[in-house]
Amino acid sequence: MLKALLGFVAGAVVVALVGWLMMPSLMFTERVSPFGMEETIARIQHNIEDNPALKAKGWALSGLRNPARAVQTDGGNVLPVMMIEVCSTKYSKPILKEDTVRFLSILMPCKVSVYKKQDGKVYIGTMNAGLMGKLFGSLVGDVMSQVAEDQKLFLVMDPSTPAPEMILPQAAPAAGGGGPGGGC
């Protein structure tokens, strides 16, 4: 009996440890871009802005941030990192209306990270919206599963299409909001 109990406890510890170690790779995705920084950013932006299916679901760019700038300003030498911010009120509205899940506003707007690594390649990082949504019940799970499907359209990298121009952020309006899409 003691042997069985110890075996169960050891198995539970191993499963917990494996889950803990694998969690980061499950919660976030990373893939190599076939293009440089600016072209990758521009292609993602235009995928969002020019896709009728995404437009119909309310997706719009809400910002473009350079989180590496603050480190560089502080004297640090870091590789480029840019955050494309995008939002759809169709998806944010049900979450922001519900008190029990409003804390998830921390995840809004949806972000796509484009960055370089020491190997010289450009990478695209996203949150695994489908898996994350499942952690917070059916409302959030349903919304985030739809976001996950739409995210696939953000990241289409078709080398047969000409490189678009990067969409630079517009100055934010005085009364708040955000970039071109007005925030979320």
Domains of the chain: 28-154 (3.30.310.70)
pLDDT at 174: 47
Q: What is the pLDDT of residues 82-124, one digit of tens each?
A: 999 999 999 999 999 999 999 988 888 899 999 999 999 999 9
Which range (37-46, 48-57, 136-145, 164-173) has the least confidence?
164-173
Phi and psi (nearest 5°) for 151? -55, -35
Q: Is the dihedral of CA 165, 163, 28, 94 positive or negative?
A: positive
Compute the average pLDDT of residues 120-142. 89
Neighbours of 84 (CB within 10 A): 26
Q: What is the pLDDT of residues 73-88, one digit of tens each?
A: 888 889 999 999 999 9
Residue 4 pLDDT grade (very low, low, confident, very high; cuts 50, 70, 90): low
The reported pTM is 0.80
Query: Burial of 47 by CB count in 10 Å (0-12 exposed, 13-18 middle, 19+ buried)?
Result: buried
Contact 101, 14 (CB under 8 A): no
- In sequence order, the 6+-apart residues with CB closer than 8 A to the CB of 98 are 139
Rounded CA-CA distance 18/27 in Å is 14
Q: What is the pLDDT of residues 22-39, one digit of tens each?
A: 455 567 899 999 999 999
